[in-house]
Amino acid sequence: MHPSYCLLAALFLASSQLAHAQQAEGVSVGNPSMLRNLVPAKQLEQQAALQYQNLKQQASTQHALATDSNAQIKRLRAISARIIPYTTKFNPRASEWQWEINLLKSSQLNAFCMPGGKIAFYSGLLETLKLSDDEVAIVMGHEIAHALREHARARIAKSELTNLGVSLLGQTVGNGRYNGMFQAGGSLLTLKFSRGDETDADIVGLELAARAGFDPRAGISLWRKMTSSGAPPQWLSTHPSGKNRELEIQKHLPEVMPLYDKSKR
């Protein structure tokens, strides 16, 4: 074989091995639920964008939408700007999303990321718990992970399968009547995830935060703050208990700490 071909082959092999090693780094969570494929992603994301816009308009009318000059929204957007570049590992379509983050002035301890990358934090979460940047990144990574892993698509599909049956659901989606069906079903803001979804989002969120240069060990201090704050926040109502969450984080720290260390070099 010509020496140049040998060199090219060696370079290709080295490149492939590096790509495989980079893909193998971090957590292992398996493939998202196949049920999500019963719900059209783009239609759900369009519906999410509409609901998000309506929420912003309502908040603005009530003077509860933080302006671009607000120090906390600047902080949130700076943190999200570091996390978002790492999202495509878990969902290649994330590169096409129109990411947006806003802060709502409310005493609620709440945060969410809707399908398509529409993120919101409530000021009560930041102020009541006095979250550090690392802790904010853990929350943000968790919520972004729900969108990346398309838990909303899967939950809606499961719900509709229960209510309609496989045959009728297929006809509804196939004939383009999905939007109306979902609008009748309720808001994405009130969608409840399973405990499995929450654990999945915790694990993926740890990696996102670590890759972005935020200390994943902040997950432990975050959930201790959550559980010691009295009644658990509304968005934790179906989550695993704080103690179980701490144990899960500790279990996965060996997988994500090398990513955090690498980000600091």
Is 130 among the domain residues? yes
Sheet strands side by side (includes 118-122): 100-104, 118-122, 111-114
For 10-50, what is each residue's pLDDT tens digit?
A: 433 433 443 344 456 889 888 888 878 778 889 889 989 99
Is 90 among the domain residues? yes
Judge contact between 207 and 27, C-beta under 8 A.
Answer: yes
How many domains is the chain partitioned into structurally? 1
Q: What is the pLDDT of residue 160?
A: 66
Across 115-121, average pLDDT: 97
Q: What is the pLDDT of residue 230?
A: 60
For 221-264, what is each residue's pLDDT tens digit?
A: 998 888 776 645 544 545 556 677 888 899 999 999 999 999 98
Across 78-91, average pLDDT: 98
In this model, does residue 80 exceed pLDDT 60?
Answer: yes
Is 23 among the domain residues? no
Is 144 among the domain residues? yes
Judge contact between 256 and 207, C-beta under 8 A.
Answer: yes
Q: Which residue has the higher pLDDT, 196 or 112?
A: 112
Is 4 among the domain residues? no
Question: 80 is in which domain, residue-wise?
Answer: 33-263
Average pLDDT across the chain, whole number: 81
CATH at residue 203: 3.40.390
49 Cβ contact list (under 8 Å, min separation 6): 98, 114, 116, 118
Task: Please tell me the least confidently modeled range out of 111-120, 124-133, 209-218, 219-228.
Answer: 219-228
Is 14 among the domain residues? no
Is 128 among the domain residues? yes
SS3 124: helix
- Catalytic hit among 143, 198, 207, 248: 143
The answer to whether 143 is a known catalytic residue is: yes
For 163-193, what is each residue's pLDDT tens digit?
A: 555 444 445 444 444 444 444 334 666 667 8
pTM of the model: 0.81
Q: What is the pLDDT of residue 228?
A: 77
Is 17 among the domain residues? no
